[in-house]
Every structure is written in structure tokens, then in C-alpha cells.
């Protein structure tokens, strides 16, 4: 039993939900096993909620909304400050939980999964401190008011990070929330609920109900007393949530799939651009919706790029996620592992050139959902591996003949979440960035900016998270004419 599972077991949280400031037993008896992908063995049994549990949580959030939305901004910011402090104070416990539930190398969980999650809370606090909820436009007052009760649906790949990206700005805006984390990575969510209670969150402001999408997610989306749904997940899941929400005309914010391009311009420093591009594509085992898994390269530079990419991939250490030397652990769950294996097979069937990796586990690993970091070259834009989101450590190198063609290939996808451009001539780099249809573009691998709004064009979703725009998703706009006379 891992330290995080032992902690949750001893605290009695595994079989309960957090509703109205209390840990409560579920209304039904359905459960699900949390599985450690490194061992493929169950490590905990969690309760799964039903519609009654959702109704109780929504009622608690509705009851708490009037008071919470009218709290002074400074008071809401103070809560967020305490939440951030507790997240950092309990960093190791959260890291162990994330490693156990979805396989992230514990070193990566410590330096990215947990601290970056805490940054979302800090940013929400800081933006709240300076945000103008009342502005003047002539004689009219423009008021920004909390939208109401928000249902938050989060995924398994960045479990804590996506929770804080939604909870932080929603609470900052004055909303109350019901969180449905992924049933595949529930441990860090339970720990987060404890943090909310220990931070002094008023009853009903934050609620958590574990469960499946078809039951808990669908009830949240269709609930007449839920004013907004924010979902991070697959495009398919986003469509189902939007359909369920349509009857009540509630706001739906969606951060969905991606197939992000990384354009390596001919004047780029390949010795830097290619290894960092491989690292970005394989970050979190490629299990990130914005991972730049299409590397677009000038045809004349393909041979050199293949050598550099293979060398970068060979330096990755796939193995026991608890080992300090491991850079990449197992794939998070069995369905995703099978999806990755299938798509690697598709790449071979499509006659893409296998540069490194391939199907199956790495040779030294016989147990666990471990995948080989895989790179294909000479990939055509119409191949499935160039069009479909794989969500794993699979990189496609696609040749282009002109920069104009590179831009065309970059945009030749139903997605538009993220993109990268590498080059020396910054005028050209900026010009190319301006022509890519995506919600974010990274130029020459900049540092992560938690204040940069994040969201998609096309089938990557709508709405924005992070920064000021992330909080504004949870606000309504009211115009009061004649306010100023």
C-alpha cells in the first residue's frame, strides 16, 4: 500500500464524497478500483456516485452561492492563499498519489504535476486582487458577476493540475462548484477535497462527487440548477456534455483534444529545436492534449532531424515511476495503453518510417503499462498518425517544401489547441505564428506562463482557462444603464 493510499484509507475518505463541508457516504453501492499502472494491480476501491449524490451536492452549492458570491474579494483571495499553501506543504503526499493513480514519474510529479497545480491557485488569487468587477462606460455601469453553480469535470492525465485550473478561478469569481474528477485518477482529488476543508472553505462552496461520465457527468451537465459546465477531456466527451447541457441552455466551456504542430523553420538551430521538441512531445508520456506530436521539418533537413530526434528519445528513461532515475513511467491506464499500441501498429501499416521505438513494452519491462517512446518519419499529412490524437509517446515527423506549405499542414487538422514555431529570424517566426489556427502558440520553447489563456479553436473546444480570461469564464456581464448620473 502506497503512502497516499494508506493516508486516504486511515482518514476514511476512499468510500465517501465531500458534500456541504462534510465527508458523506454515497447514496448507492457502486464502486471502482483505482489501478496502479506500474503494477497493473488495484490499490484502492472508491465509491461511485449516482444522481442522488449529484443532487445533494448541487443543492449544497446552490445554498452556499448567495453568501459566497457576495463575500469581499479579499476574503475569497484569503481562502485561495491558504489552499495554495497547503498544496505546497503536502506536495510529497500529492506527488505519491499522482504517481500511484496515473503513473507519472515521481520526480516529474514533484517538479511539475503538483507545483504547477498550485500555481493555478496563486494566479487566481492574484488576479482576483486586481480585478475590476465594476467598470464605467459613459453613464452605464458594466458589472461582472459570478455565474452561479458550476459543474467541473476533470481528466486523468493531469489530475490535480486540471482541478486547480478550474476550481481556483471559479471560486475567485464567486461561484460555487461541484467537482467530478476522473474515476481513473481519484486519489489526488480526494486529497484536494481535504485541503479545501482544512483551508476553511465554507460548507457548500466546494463539493466533490466521484463517478462515471455517463452517470455523474451527465447529471451535472443536464441539471437544471447547474449554471455552467467546464470540462477537460476528449472531443467525444465534450460533445456528449454539450448535448446534455443544451436543454437547460447553460454555459459550457470545453478544453478538448489536440494534434499540435511544431514547425521547425529552415533557419532554426536544429541541435536545440529538435531535442526540445522531442521532450515537449513526450512530456507526461505524450498524455497532454497540447503535446506537439507533429514535427514539421524542411525536407532537406529530414536526415539530420531523424538522427537528433532518435538521440533525444534514446535518453529517456522509462521504468519504475518511483525510481529517482526514471524520467517517464507507465501509461496511465489500460485503455490508453491499448490505444497507443494500436496507433503504433497503424503507423507501421501506413508505411511511415520507424526511427525509434515501436510496439510493445521496453525490453527490460515485463509488467506494467509501459510503452516505447516512438518516432515515425516521412509521415504524410493524410496518415492517421498525423491526423488522430494518439495521446501517448508517439511523434510524427512530417516533411514540407516551403514555409507556406508548413503552415498549411499545421492547420490541416480538426484541432486547434496548441502549436510551436522554432526559428532564428523572429520576424518570420512571429509571422508564421500569426497564421496558425490554435489557441496558444509557443515560440522557441518559452517558459510556461500560468497567466497565458489556454483553449482551442475548432474541435479543440471553446472558452479559455488560466489567467484573467480563465476567471472571466465564470462571470456574467450585466449592464446597468443610468447608474452614473
Do the beta carbons of residue 397 and residue 376 sit within 8 Å? yes
CA 485 – CA 481 distance, rounded (Å): 10
C-alpha distance from residue 19 to each of 169, 193, 292, 387 (Å): 20, 10, 39, 42
Grid cell, residue 129, equals: 486582487
Length of the chain as a residue count: 485
C-alpha distance from residue 268 to each of 296, 313, 395, 436 (Å): 12, 20, 19, 18
Does residue 315 have an active-site annotation?
no
Do the beta carbons of residue 454 and residue 439 sit within 8 Å? yes
Catalytic residue among 289, 306, 472, 473: 289
Locus of grid cell 490505444: 339
For 342, phi and psi rounded to 5 degrees? -60, -45
291-294-297-299 Cα dihedral, nearest 10 degrees: 170
Question: For the chain, give me the number of helices (H) and strands (E)?
Answer: 17, 20
Instruction: Tell me the CB-side half-sphere exposure of residue 49, using CA atoms within 13 A.
Output: 31
Do the beta carbons of residue 149 and residue 178 sit within 8 Å? yes
Catalytic residue among 255, 306, 389, 473: 255
Do the beta carbons of residue 208 and residue 195 sit within 8 Å? no
DSSP for 105-167, written as a single string: -HHHIIIIIHHHHHHHHHHHHHHHHH--SEEEETTEEEEEEE--EEEEE--SSSHHHHHHHHH
Give the E-state strand segments of 416-469 in sequence order.
420-422, 442-443, 461-462
Does residue 289 have an active-site annotation?
yes
CA 86 – CA 311 distance, rounded (Å): 40
CB-based contacts of 49: which residues, under 8 Å, 6+ apart? 17, 26, 27, 28, 180, 209, 210, 211, 215, 216
327-329-335-338 Cα dihedral, nearest 10 degrees: 70
Q: Which residues are catalytic?
A: 255, 289
Amino acid at each position: 500500500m502506497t503512502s497516499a493510499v494508506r493516508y486516504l484509507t486511515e482518514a476514511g475518505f476512499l468510500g465517501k464524497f465531500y458534500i456541504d463541508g462534510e465527508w458523506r457516504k454515497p447514496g448507492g453501492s457502486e464502486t471502482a478500483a483505482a489501478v496502479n499502472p506500474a503494477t497493473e494491480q488495484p490499490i484502492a476501491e472508491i465509491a461511485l456516485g449516482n444522481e442522488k449524490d449529484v443532487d445533494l451536492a448541487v443543492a449544497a452549492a446552490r445554498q452556499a452561492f448567495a453568501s459566497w458570491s457576495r463575500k469581499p474579494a479579499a476574503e475569497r483571495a484569503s481562502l485561495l492563499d491558504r489552499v495554495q499553501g497547503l498544496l505546497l506543504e503536502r506536495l510529497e503526499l500529492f506527488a505519491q498519489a499522482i504517481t500511484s493513480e496515473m503513473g507519472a514519474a515521481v520526480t516529474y510529479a514533484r517538479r511539475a504535476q503538483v507545483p504547477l497545480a498550485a500555481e493555478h491557485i496563486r494566479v487566481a488569487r492574484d488576479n482576483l486582487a486586481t480585478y475590476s468587477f465594476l467598470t464605467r462606460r459613459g453613464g452605464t455601469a458594466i458589472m461582472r458577476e459570478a455565474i452561479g453553480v458550476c459543474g467541473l469535470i476533470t481528466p486523468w492525465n493531469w489530475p490535480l493540475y486540471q482541478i486547480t485550473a478550474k476550481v481556483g478561478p471559479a471560486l475567485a469569481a464567486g461561484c460555487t462548484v461541484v467537482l467530478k474528477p476522473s474515476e481513473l485518477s481519484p486519489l489526488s482529488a480526494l486529497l484536494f477535497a481535504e485541503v479545501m476543508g482544512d483551508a476553511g472553505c465554507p460548507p457548500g462552496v466546494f463539493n466533490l462527487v466521484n463517478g462515471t461520465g455517463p452517470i455523474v457527468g451527465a447529471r451535472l451537465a443536464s441539471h437544471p440548477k447547474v449554471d455552467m459546465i467546464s470540462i477537460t477531456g476528449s472531443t467525444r466527451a465534450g460533445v456528449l456534455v454539450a448535448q446534455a447541457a443544451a436543454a437547460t441552455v447553460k454555459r459550457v466551456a470545453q478544453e478538448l483534444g489536440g494534434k499540435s504542430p511544431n514547425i521547425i523553420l529552415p533557419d532554426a538551430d536544429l541541435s536545440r529545436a529538435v531535442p526540445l521538441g522531442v521532450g515537449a512531445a513526450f512530456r507526461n508520456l505524450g498524455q497532454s492534449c497540447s503535446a506537439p506530436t507533429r514535427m514539421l521539418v524542411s525536407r532537406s533537413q529530414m536526415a539530420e532531424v531523424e538522427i537528433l530526434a532518435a538521440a533525444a528519445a534514446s535518453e529517456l528513461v522509462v521504468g519504475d515511476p518511483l525510481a529517482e532515475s526514471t524520467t517517464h513511467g507507465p501509461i496511465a491506464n489500460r485503455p490508453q495503453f491499448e490505444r497507443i499500441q494500436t496507433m503504433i501498429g497503424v503507423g507501421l501499416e501506413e508505411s511511415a518510417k520507424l526511427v525509434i521505438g515501436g510496439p510493445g513494452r521496453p525490453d527490460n519491462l515485463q509488467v506494467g503499462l509501459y510503452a516505447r517512446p516512438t518516432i515515425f518519419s516521412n509521415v504524410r499529412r493524410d496518415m492517421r498518425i498525423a491526423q488522430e490524437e494518439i495521446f501517448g509517446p508517439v511523434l510524427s515527423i512530417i516533411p514540407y517544401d516551403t514555409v507556406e506549405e508548413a503552415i498549411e499542414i499545421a492547420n490541416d487538422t480538426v484541432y486547434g489547441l496548441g502549436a510551436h514555431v522554432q526559428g532564428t529570424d523572429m520576424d518570420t517566426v512571429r509571422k508564421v505564428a500569426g497564421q496558425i489556427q490554435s489557441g496558444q502558440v509557443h515560440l522557441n520553447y518559452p517558459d510556461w506562463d500560468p497567466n497565458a489563456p489556454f483553449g482551442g479553436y475548432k474541435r479543440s473546444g471553446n472558452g479559455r482557462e488560466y489567467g484573467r480570461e480563465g476567471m472571466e469564464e465564470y462571470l456574467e456581464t450585466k449592464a446597468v444603464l443610468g447608474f452614473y448620473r
